[in-house]
Amino acid sequence: MSQFTEIRTVPGTVRGSWEGGVAVFRGIPFAQPPVGSLRFRAPVAVLPWSGTRDALAFGPSVPQAGQTGSVMTSTTRVPTDGSAECLTLNVWTPDLGSAALPVMVWIQGGTYLENHTSNPHYDGALLARSGVVVVSMNYRVGLDGFGHIAGAPDNRGILDQIAALRWVRDNIAAFGGDPARVTVFGQSAGGACVAALLTMPSARGLFGRAICQSMPGTYFSQRLAAAVTAAIAGEVGARADLDDLARHSPRALTAATAAVLAKMPRFAESWGPMALTPTPFSPVVDGLVLPDAPWRALAGGAARGIDLLVGHTRDEFRLYTSRPGTETVDPFDHLSPGADLRDAYAAAYPDASTAQRREILNADWLFRMPSVHLAESARAGGGRAWMYELRWSFSSEQGASHCLDFLLLFGTLGAEEIRRHRAAHPGAADEVSGVSRALRADWVEFATTGEPGWDPYTPQGRSTQIYDATATVSPYPEERSRRIWSAHRFGTLDLLSG
């Protein structure tokens, strides 16, 4: 078999390579560079090209902190070093024939601030060898992707994802995929984007199954998002509108975002609990691009025909370390009703320390309970949903933390890496491959058949797959927290004052 292989797509021919039995195509553009007059705009379809374009290396990253390239400093002219062409996607496929394999489109997380599909932990080769076509894409992040800017559409990062899904619809058959069997799956911010995609009119028909991993439950009103953008714009002395912000380079705006992020807890009285999270951005419920927060939309039947797999890790918040100032902020003071919550957690978790209760609360309100409520909303709206929890961990320090799930899913956490960890559990290195295989097999089964292998979630049985050294099915395991939040209604976070 030749090392290189060429595929004709609608815009033009691309050349990929065979690597370990998987054909890989990297850095395929799916939209025009979002620079110059297209900055802060909805993505525009990529222009056709003649000849054959190499798809052998990942495309440049979208503008974000730490990125190099002239796109970070350019404002009025298009960069000439290629870093502007950042809206690209990647394909891993085990079969370039007419197999019509299930397609899994990965939307990575990164607190809406980072996006690196070249991250080796997102390597889709092992997942593709399981019998699916895997696609990942760059999408705009930070102010460019999620800031509410007067004169610009909201949720530009999610609009980029929709543009990539349209590319999949139009081109994936040539890579051995079935455009009628597309599953979107994402983790953290990517999981919340998947939940948003479930409800967005412009995404309708582009996928039939969805997997939300550790989705944060923060969706902003335009007022709250505007307040965040105004604070960032104020750092560079700009107005929060398209014309004025376009005069400032991405590097200047990422630096301004970092300055606001460092002092976010100071805004808690006006911005509410989102000021205690690791990011100033979230999808914006604008009533148009994103008509409603996903819980109410799903309960109303917005995604009735889309099968949903949703879940979280057990120790979601263990990953996060304190930022300057956060140690003085008590999350119970900023979640309503704070006093009742404090008493409820004290009663539900009597043996936990104050710090442990804060960790549990942060895990609950930010990740775990939004996931449970999403499954319940999908069920209420006439759809099918399945729940899972990752309980397995390799270290008592990190526990089953945020992000551990995708390392297992892609198989990029190795036994030797665990053996070298100073706090690894005895036997964890021998267990990791089995947990990884179980998780990956269930995701592929769901993408292939629409069912992962256990009973759907219902309010009565609350069937949940638990991934530990051995996978088991039980009622939802975080029952104490579920009861505390059972009457809560997740929705759109709004500006509290100012």
Active site (annotated) includes residue 334 = no
How does 333-364 read in b/e, with b if 16+ C-beta sit within 10 Å? ebbeeeeebbebbeeebeeeeeeebbbbbbbb
Please tell me the number of Cα atoms within 13 Å of 290 on its side-chain side.
Answer: 33
Q: Are strands 209-213 and 307-313 parallel, antiparallel or unpaired?
A: parallel
Q: 188, 221, 249, 481: which one is catalytic? A: 188
| Integer Cα distance of 485 and 372 in angstroms | 10
Backbone angles phi, psi at 465, to 5 degrees: -80, 125
The neighbouring-strand residues paired with 187 are: 213
Residue 283 token pair: 């999808």
Active site (annotated) includes residue 188 = yes
Residue with tokens 């891993």: 92
Give 23: exposed, middle or buried? Use CB within 10 Å, 0-12, 13-18, 19+. Answer: buried
Backbone angles phi, psi at 268, to 5 degrees: -60, -35
Q: 376, 402, 436, 481: which one is catalytic? A: 402
Q: 74, 85, 214, 316: which one is catalytic? A: 316
Q: Are strands 13-19 and 22-29 parallel, antiparallel or unpaired?
A: antiparallel
Active site (annotated) includes residue 248 = no
Which residues are known to be catalytic? 188, 316, 402
